[in-house]
Amino acid sequence: MFERIVIPLDGSCLAEWGLPHAISLSKAFNAQLVLVRVINSEESSGNGYPPDPITWEALRAESSAYLDTVASRLGGLGLKPRVMTLEGEPVDQIIDFVRRDGPTLLVMTSHGIGGHSHYMLGSVVHKSVLHAHVSFLLVRAFSEQCGLLEEQQYTRLLVPLDGSKRAECVLTPVEALARADGSDVLLVSVVESLSERYGLLPQDERRMFLEELEQQQRVTLERYQNRIRERWAQEGLRVEGQVVSGQSPIMAVWNLTRKGQVDLVVMAAHGHSGINHWPLGALPLNALIYGETPLLVIQDLEPNEIKPTRADEDASEVWGH
C-alpha cells in the first residue's frame, strides 16, 4: 500500500495539525513516518540573495533541532520517525522528495506558516498536491493554536464509489483504516438525473425512458455496494451504503459532509470518466478546493502516466530539463 507517510512541517502550529492524522495513518498502514522541513536560502535572506554561511548554518541547525523535537514527542507515542531537512524552493523539494523511494502518502494541511487567508488552500499545499501526482491527505487547518499531539481517531469514513474498477483503489486503505480505528464506513454512489441534465420538461415523453435507465443504474449500484458490504461484514467491519438520486456526485458528497458526521472522506483520484493525463478528476478536485473535511485521495496512476501541463512543458524548456 504505502511505504512512507511524508508530512512537511514549516514550524507553524497550522502545519502541525496534520501530525495526529499522520500518526494514525502510519500505524494503520504500517508505514514509515517521515518529517520533512524545507529551508529556502532566498526567502531566508529577505533580499533575494543567499544568506551568509553563518546564517545558513544557523537555519540548518534550527531546522534539525525543530524536527528532532517533534520526533522526540512522537517517540512517546511509540513511533520512530525519520527526519529530513531539504534545501531549495519548498514546492519543488516536496514534489521531488515524495516521488522517490517507493509508494508514498503525502500529508499536508490547508494552511501553514503563511497563516490564514480568505483562500481555502495556501499556495504551497495547492501546488504540491496537484503536481506531486501521489496519494495525499489534506487536513483543514483553521486554528493557529497548536493542538494536542495524539493519534487521530476516525469514527466515520465517507467513501464515494461510482462502480468502476478505478474507484476501487480506495478499498484497501479504507479497510485498513476501518480495522485500525473500528470506524463505521459509509459507501455513497450517485445516480444523476438524466432528465435534469438534458433539460427535459415534465410532460416530455422521453422522461419515462430516462427514468427507466436511472432505475437500472440504481439497481446496479445497489448490487455493487452490497457485494462490498457483505464481504466486509463477514470480516467484522461496520458498513452501510447509500445510493443517492438526482444530485451530482459533488453535491452529494458536499451535503453529507456538511452534516458534520464524517471524520474523513476517502476517494479515488479518478473514476469511470477519469482522464489519464489529468492528476485529479472533477470530484476530488472540487473536494480538495471547496471541502471542509479531511480528505484522503488515492492516486491510481504513476507520476509518469500523468501528462505534463503546458506550464510544465514550457518550464522544462526554459530550464533545459
Q: Are residues 86 and 227 in the same domain?
A: no
Q: 152, 170, 202: which is the final residue of a domain?
A: 152
The answer to whether 16 and 147 have CB atoms below 8 angstroms apart is: yes
Question: Are residues 57 and 83 both part of a single domain?
Answer: yes
Among 98-102, 110-114, 170-174, 229-233, the least confident range:
110-114
Does position 246 have pLDDT exceeding 90, yes or no? Answer: no
The amino acid sitting at 61 is A
Q: Is residue 310 situated within a structural domain? A: no
Using pLDDT thresholds of 50, 70 and 90, give the confidence band for residue 304.
Answer: confident
Within-domain flag for 53 = yes
* C-alpha cell at position 29: 498502514
Residue 119: predicted pLDDT:
66
List the domain range (segments joined by +) for residue 279: 156-305
pLDDT tens-digit map of 183-202: 999 999 998 877 777 777 78
What is the percent of the chain where pLDDT is above 70? 90
Residues 130 and 252 in one domain: no
Q: With bands split at pLDDT 50, 70 and 90, how would you rate the model's confidence at 214? A: confident
- Measured in degrees and rounded to the nearest 5, phi and psi for residue 128 equal -65, -50
One domain, residues 134 and 188: no
Residue count of the chain: 321
Check: CB of residue 222 under 8 Å from CB of residue 241: yes
Letter for the amino acid at 83? V
Looking at residue 148, its pLDDT comes to 72
Name the 3-class secondary structure at 241: strand
188 lies in some domain: yes
Confidence of residue 117 (pLDDT cuts 50, 70, 90): low
- DSSP letter string over 72-139? HHHHTTT---EEEEEES-HHHHHHHHHTSSSSEEEEEES--TT---SSSS-HHHHHHHHHS-SEEEEE
DSSP states of 219-239 = HHHHHHHHHHHHHHHHTT-EE
Decide if 113 contacts 144 (C-beta within 8 A).
no
Specify the pLDDT at position 142: 73
pLDDT for the residue numbered 80? 94
Q: Is residue 284 part of a domain?
A: yes
What is the Cα–Cα distance from 285 to 121, expressed in whole angstroms?
A: 12
pLDDT given at position 28 = 95
What's the number of domains the chain is made of? Answer: 2
Residue 257 lies in a domain: yes
Specify the long-range contacts of residues 234-239, CB closer than 8 Å, at least 24 apart. Answer: 235/175, 237/175, 237/178, 237/179, 237/185, 238/178, 238/182, 238/183, 238/184, 238/185, 239/178, 239/184, 239/185, 239/186, 239/187
Q: What's the rounded mean pLDDT across residues 1-29?
A: 93
Same domain as 189, residue 296: yes
Query: Which of 129, 152, 175 corresponds to the end of one domain?
Result: 152
What are 122-141's pLDDT values in tens digits? Answer: 889 999 999 999 999 999 98
What pLDDT score was predicted for residue 199? 75
Between 266 and 310, the more confident residue is 266
Same domain, 76 and 204: no
pLDDT at residue 274 above 80?
A: no
Q: What is the pTM of this model?
A: 0.90
Confidence of residue 250 (pLDDT cuts 50, 70, 90): confident
More confident position, 159 or 252: 159
Are 72 and 190 in a shared domain? no
- Shared domain check, 171 and 73: no
- In this structure, is residue 12 part of a structural domain? yes
pLDDT, residue 32, reads 96
177 and 286: one domain? yes
For position 47, what pLDDT does the model report?
A: 53
Residue 276: give its domain's CATH number: 3.40.50.620
Residues 83 and 142 in one domain: yes
